[in-house]
Structure 1
Amino acid sequence: MTSNYAEHPAMFRNNPLGFILAVILIPAAIGILILLFWYLKCKSTRLEINENEIILEQGLLSKERTELNVSGIRTVKIKQSFFNRLFGVGTLSVYTAGDSPEIQAHGMPKPEIFRDLVKARQSDPA
């Protein structure tokens, strides 16, 4: 099992029909703009879990960084549609104390690995 998780949202696997449509629109030049915007949006988001922290970094020019201590996490929720399950991606929501998620990341590859790592870090005596 992987000891750390550091991923960007997936492009094709998260939305294969949108990707195919953008490729079809490349001759009209709008497809290139769509793919470029989509690529930059995916690469400017990164979800990471290391020894004791979960870090979500978003933004290209200006950055927003959310850090959570693994011991304070109450719930990790994974939401996947049928196609998300086929392609191995999903939306990760991390809850601490409230009813709204502290971290929510869409289109993340291998979400079950992330959840398993959080559980493993919580059960390890630090």
Structure 2
Amino acid sequence: MNKPDYEASPAMFRNQPLGFIAAVLLIPVFGVGILILLYWYIKARSVRLTIAGDSIHLSRGILSKEQTDIDIREIRTVLIRQSFWQRIFNVGQVEVFTTGDMPEFSLQGMPDPNFVRDYIRGRINREDEER
């Protein structure tokens, strides 16, 4: 199997640095911070976005799984939303649209979101040139 061009889960610290610091500071308070960080870690690792070649694979869940596969040729729009702090830490929300007004999926806190958009745009443009 070939190495994916992009494979990531939502970032914890880079996505919400103040929340992460607050959780760390709450560790001495009856271990509340550890519970928060553990829940946050499991939630972040239960989502995985993989892009390889002309397909996007999204996997969500730990015990029960929800998996979505999208052919890049079916994608109409990729929307990236980034706050000022998210731009500094190079994370953001990625929304992928195929048809209709609702996104096929929306992922918050993804590392290097502009790479995702540029990669998809490049593959679509390559397909158009080959036709």
Structure 1 residue 66: Cα displacement = 1.0
Q: Measure, in 2, the Cα distance between the counterparts of 1:49 and 1:83.
A: 25
- CA distance in 2 between partners of 1:9 and 1:48 (Å): 12
CA RMSD between the two structures:
1.1
Letter of the 2:82 partner, please give it. Answer: Q
Greater Cα radius of gyration, structure 1 or 2 = 2
CA distance in 2, matches of 1:99, 1:54: 20
Secondary structure of the residue that 1:31 maps to in structure 2? Answer: helix
* 1:109 paired residue among 106, 111, 115: 111
- The residue identity in structure 1 corresponding to 2:121 is K
TM-score normalised per structure 2:
0.91
**2:27 is aligned with 1:4:** no
> After superposition, where does 1:12-27 map in structure 2 within 5 Å?
12-27=13-28
Tell me the residue number matched to 1:67: 69
Give structure 2 stretches of 5+ with no counterpart.
Answer: none
Distance 1:99 1:118 in 2: 19
- Report whether the alignment pairs 1:76 with 2:81: no
Aligned-partner SS, 1:27? coil
Looking at structure 1, the residues matched to 63 and 102 of structure 2 have their Cα atoms a distance apart, in angstroms, of 27
Distance 2:105 2:55 in 1: 12
Q: CA deviation at 1:122?
A: 1.0
Between the two proteins, what is the percent identity of the paired residues?
Answer: 51
Equivalent residue, structure 2, for 1:54:
56
SS of residue paired to 1:124 = helix
**Larger RCO (CA under 8 A, 6+ residues apart):** 1
| Separation in structure 2 between the aligned mates of residue 80 and residue 30 of structure 1, nearest angstrom | 29
Q: TM-score, normalised to structure 1's length? A: 0.95
Unaligned runs of 5+ in 1: none
Encode CA deviations 1:25-58: one digit per residue, 9 max, x unaligned: 0012110000000001111111111111111111
Kindly state the Cα deviation for residue 124 of structure 1 after the two structures are TM-superposed. 2.0
Aligned length: 124
The AA in structure 2 aligned to 1:16 is P
